[in-house]
Amino acid sequence: MQLNLFTYEKKAKPFLKWAGGKTQLIKEIDKRLPSMLKKGKPMRYIEPFVGSGALLFHLLNNYKIKEAYIIDINENLINLYLVIKNNVFELIEQLKSFADEYKSLSENKRKEYYYLKREEYNQEKEDKIKKAALLIFLNKTCFNGLYRTNKKGEFNVPFGKYKNPKILDQENLIAVANKLKNVNIYSGDFEISKNFPLDEETLIYFDPPYRPISKTSSFTSYSANDFDDNEQIRLKKFFDYVTSKGAKAILSNSDPKNFDPNDSFFDNLYKNYIIERIFAKRSINSNSEKRGYIREILIRNYEN
């Protein structure tokens, strides 16, 4: 039975597995939300690095958001958001086709099918719905659910050996489409946020590509462009800008002190703001022994 988009009220959750996704930090961020939002007053929400949208959906499910703006530099991710918002049932049909084909195959044939779909994804330029469906399919069947590209912008994550991946989650996709009805969706650099209303009724959350926690790790291969320390500094200047406009701002990042106790990069950069260290479970690592709790930082420009 096909569910009705406009009457469906199931809570939405992230539809992708995403490196750096904030599902595990929601409780900590929720504790630090502005008091006016906690008191039931509506706020505007802006998220310039939306990723899988964990905080976005948490806010839309539980608080009064009068308008929302989401941005990401990853054009294929933004295309997926737009397809879910505008063409969710066509997307579901395409995903069902992929899921049925995949599940009918042996493990070796599944691997071949995966690499065929990865090639199709990298070559597809015209069909936005198929591109979106391929992204979900790859995310659910690739190694560790990573999104990684080479310098040409080509998705290059290898096959993941999952026995029963949930390629199609129809109910959640419809719930997400319902929540996105009044969300403004853009592809681009975080600084385009300055074109949106920034005032005391605005909450903006920055979740940039994390600064590597060691010399051998990096989560910046998210697009064809690296988000290096110069980009982190540019982001801090924009954090200053939104603060000057009166907006409430929160930023999350890795804690360099996990690797080097003397690395005070963020402590120095954001010395005029509230910096807190919290523990988060690191689940995406090829070595299971290195998956565990590490410190991350949350930075705010407001007390409550």
- Give the pLDDT of residue 1: 39
Under 8 Å CB-to-CB from 270, ≥6 apart: which residues?
236, 239, 251, 299
Under 8 Å CB-to-CB from 214, ≥6 apart: which residues?
258, 259
Taking the C-alpha atoms of residue 89 and residue 83, their distance in angstroms, rounded to an integer, is 9
**Cβ–Cβ < 8 Å for 88, 5:** yes
Widest pairwise Cα distance in the chain: 58
- Give the pLDDT of residue 222: 53
Q: Alpha helix (H) ranges present in 221-269?
A: 229-244, 265-269
Q: How far is CA 193 from the centre of its chain?
A: 17
Under 8 Å CB-to-CB from 98, ≥6 apart: which residues?
117, 133, 134, 137, 167, 168
- Give the pLDDT of residue 259: 85
Over the chain (304 residues), the average pLDDT of each successive run of 10 is 56 89 84 97 98 96 97 97 98 98 96 98 97 98 91 93 94 98 97 97 96 56 72 98 98 91 95 94 52 84 93
- Give the pLDDT of residue 282: 59
Neighbours of 4 (CB within 10 A): 9
Enclosing H/E stretch for 66: strand 65-72
**Cβ–Cβ < 8 Å for 18, 52:** yes
- Give the pLDDT of residue 220: 39
The domain locations on the chain are 23-75+172-300, 78-169
Q: Which backbone phi and psi does 282 adopt, to 5 degrees?
A: -90, 110
Taking the C-alpha atoms of residue 176 and residue 8, their distance in angstroms, rounded to an integer, is 10
Coil, strand, or helix at residue 214? Answer: coil
Taking the C-alpha atoms of residue 103 and residue 105, their distance in angstroms, rounded to an integer, is 5
CATH code linked to domain 78-169: 1.10.1020.10
Enclosing H/E stretch for 281: strand 274-282
Under 8 Å CB-to-CB from 125, ≥6 apart: which residues?
none
Residues in a beta bridge with 295: 279
Coil, strand, or helix at residue 257? Answer: helix
**Cβ–Cβ < 8 Å for 18, 147:** yes
For 196-237, the pLDDT digits (tens) are 999 999 999 999 998 876 554 444 355 556 789 999 999 999
Fold: same for 23-75+172-300 and 78-169: no
For 23-66, the pLDDT digits (tens) are 778 999 999 999 999 999 999 999 999 999 999 999 999 999 99
Taking the C-alpha atoms of residue 114 and residue 143, their distance in angstroms, rounded to an integer, is 11
Tokens 């800008």 — which residue? 241
Global pTM reads: 0.90
Fold of 23-75+172-300: Rossmann fold (3.40.50)
Tokens 């929720």 — which residue? 30
Helix, strand, coil abundance in the chain, percent, nearest 5: 45, 15, 40
- Give the pLDDT of residue 63: 98
